[in-house]
Amino acid sequence: MEKETTQKRSKLPVIIFIVALIAFVAPSVAYLVQNKSIYRFSWVWTYLFRLPTTSGERMFNAIMFFALITILFLAYMLIAKKHKRIFKNSKQIFILIGIVSILFAIIIPYTSTDVYSYIANGWSQAHYGENPYYVSTGQIVDSTGQNEPMFNKVANCWRYETVVYGPLWTAICTLLSWLSFGNIDIALIIFKLANVVVHIINCVLVYKLTKKKIFLILYGLNPFILFEALSNVHNDIFIILFILLAIYFTIRKKNLFLAVAFVALATAIKYLAILILPFIIIYYVREKNVKHRLIICLICGIEYIAIIALFYLFYMRDLSVFAGLFMQQGKYNRSIFYILYEYLHTGTLQIIQTACLAIFTIFYAYVCIRLLLQKEIKFYQVIKKYNIVILIFTFILITNFNAWYIMWLFPTMFWLKSKSQTTILALSYSSQIANFASFALWSEEAWLGIPYLIIMVIGAGIIKLLNTKVEKNRE
């Protein structure tokens, strides 16, 4: 009798997680049942099953979002803590991840509308035969004079902007949008299903790489990953896929050329992936002499550039195809640069940005060269250095920070010390509760980026502090 009671108690965190998730999914299900389409859905998250009209109603929605996200994270941490009692084997974990992934995928995109830009840009090529690096969706609508449902949900800030992502992502969007036959609901389902599949593959790779169930849980059941990748359908989940594959072929299969190829594929989605390339190469050539290291670095560099160039050749007419690489740096929100943007002359701000980029480049080169010349090196040492680089890039160098960028920290977190892992998990939670301000005010004004960033950093700091005290009490 006592054994049965203990088993039931051990399952309690899973039950709480599922119940809270169902409550989180409920508004989306209610909307879809009533409206049969997401076509006219507003971005605002609402638990009233209708748009809020007063400040009290907006605050209620904000509190409900905060409460449900918090419960999900608390249950998630309890599952991780008691996973040995809850799960008999990894198969049970994968089953739970599958169920949870499907539920998160049902949630209509609430805190981001990027997926509709993916759909529209893919459809502009699949249906209209236009090159999305040179023609925006707004231009297509203006020239045709048609009411195109596949374009109408693109955010106003992106309507007249060309693609900002790499050519591989554009090709993926074209294929997925083509499969929808011009139906926005089908398109959203296809994009969500693609991300669910990629998430499951990522979970398999995490388990193959680490051989630890705790890491499978920390990644696969993380509410932040599930919400941003499966509910909001961000393409950063593909970045995680290719980086994990690159690491897998580096440390498990000892195949550097395939590892470099996967980093190139990641870069062909978002350029930030290039940051991990030297670290993977350096680790692989660690037992070679300096001369051989340099030769291999040169060969890998040529391979990397060739793969990137091959993808761009499908879209390139002139050098303006690369304009999207710099477009985001011209937007200011949720970063220290927003304050400077408000009070400084544009020219002065650009000088500061250029100086920051130059300092970062020097620091990055110094770290890579020092590692390259080091005689003995472990993989966790390489990843520790990379983690510092990606943190600086994400939180200091980027002028337009978004919550889902924290996903970039996840592919390599498993080789960091527990304190660093806790920091990443704390950031993933605090980045979600920082949405409280937007939901409470029902606004996406740029100035809200500052309180968002403050809430996120303070929230992560508090979690880290509480975790440190808990660890000290255990000792």
Residue with tokens 């929605």: 61
Segment 440-447 shows an average pLDDT of 70
- pLDDT for residue 208 is more than 90: yes
Q: pTM of the predicted model, to two decimals?
A: 0.95
Q: What is the pLDDT averaged over residues 69-98?
A: 95
- Give the confidence band of 437 by pLDDT, cuts at 50, 70, 90: confident
At 79, the pLDDT band (50, 70, 90 cuts) reads very high
| Average pLDDT rounded to a whole number, residues 353-359 | 92
Q: Is the pLDDT of residue 2 over 60?
A: no
pLDDT in tens, 278-288: 999 999 998 88
Poorest-confidence range of 154-163, 345-354, 420-429, 460-469?
460-469
Q: Inform me whether the pLDDT recorded for 190 exceeds 80.
A: yes
Gap between the Cα atoms of 107 and 109, Å rounded: 6
**Average pLDDT of span 379-394:** 94
How confident is residue 8, by pLDDT bands cut at 50, 70 and 90?
A: low
Average pLDDT value for residue range 368-377: 89
Q: Residue 375's pLDDT is what?
A: 80
Q: How confident is the model at residue 457 (pLDDT cuts 50, 70, 90)?
A: confident
What pLDDT is recorded for position 205? 98
pLDDT at residue 443 greater than cutoff 60: yes
Tell me, what's the pLDDT at 235?
A: 97
- Residue 178 has a pLDDT of 96
Q: What residues have CB less than 8 Å from 375, skipping those under 6 apart?
A: none
Which residues does residue 333 pair with via DSSP β-bridges, in sequence order? 400
209-228, pLDDT tens digit by residue?
Answer: 999 999 999 999 999 999 99
Mean pLDDT for all residues in the chain: 90
Q: What percent of the chain has pLDDT over 70?
A: 95
Task: With CA atoms as reference, report the closest residue to 313 among 175, 170, 413, 157.
Answer: 170
**Percent of all residues in the chain with a pLDDT value above 90, rounded to a whole number:** 64
For residues 304 and 257, give the distance between their C-alpha atoms in angstroms, rounded to a whole number: 9
Q: If you average pLDDT over residues 459-463, what whole number do you get?
A: 82
Which residues constitute the domain of residue 334? 2-474
Who wins on pLDDT, 379 or 469? 379
Whether 473 shows a pLDDT value over 60: the answer reads: no
Per-residue pLDDT tens digits for 92-106: 999 999 999 999 999
Residue 28 has pLDDT above 60, yes or no: yes
| pLDDT above 90: residue 133 | yes
Q: Is residue 246 pLDDT above 70, yes or no?
A: yes
pLDDT greater at residue 51 or residue 79: 79
- The residue ranking higher by pLDDT, 439 or 190, is 190
DSSP codes joined into one string, 309-321: HHHHHTT-SSGGG
State residue 199's pLDDT score.
98
pLDDT recorded at residue 102:
98
* φ, ψ of residue 354 in degrees (nearest 5): -65, -40
Q: How far apart are CA 170 and CA 61, in angstroms?
A: 35
Mean pLDDT of the region 155-181: 93
Task: Provide the number of structural domains found in the chain.
Answer: 1
Burial class (CB in 10 A: 0-12, 13-18, 19+), 132: buried
On the question of pLDDT at 1 being above 70, the answer is no
- Which range, of 193-197, 397-401, 470-474, averages the lowest pLDDT? 470-474
- Cβ(277)–Cβ(386) below 8 Å: no
Reported as a pLDDT band with limits 50, 70 and 90, residue 148 is confident
For Cα atoms 461, 227, 462, give the angle at the middle one, nearest 5 degrees: 10
Higher-pLDDT residue of 147 and 295 is 295
The predicted pLDDT at position 455 comes to 82
pLDDT at 7 > cutoff 60: no
Residue 400 phi, psi dihedral angles, 5° rounding: -130, 75
CA gap 88, 95 in Å, rounded: 12
Contacts 24+ apart (CB under 8 A), 128-137: 131/315, 131/317, 132/162, 132/163, 132/170, 132/315, 133/162, 133/163, 133/170, 133/315, 133/316, 133/320, 133/321, 133/323, 133/324, 134/162, 134/317, 134/320, 134/321, 135/162, 136/160, 136/161, 136/162
pLDDT surpasses 60 at 474: no
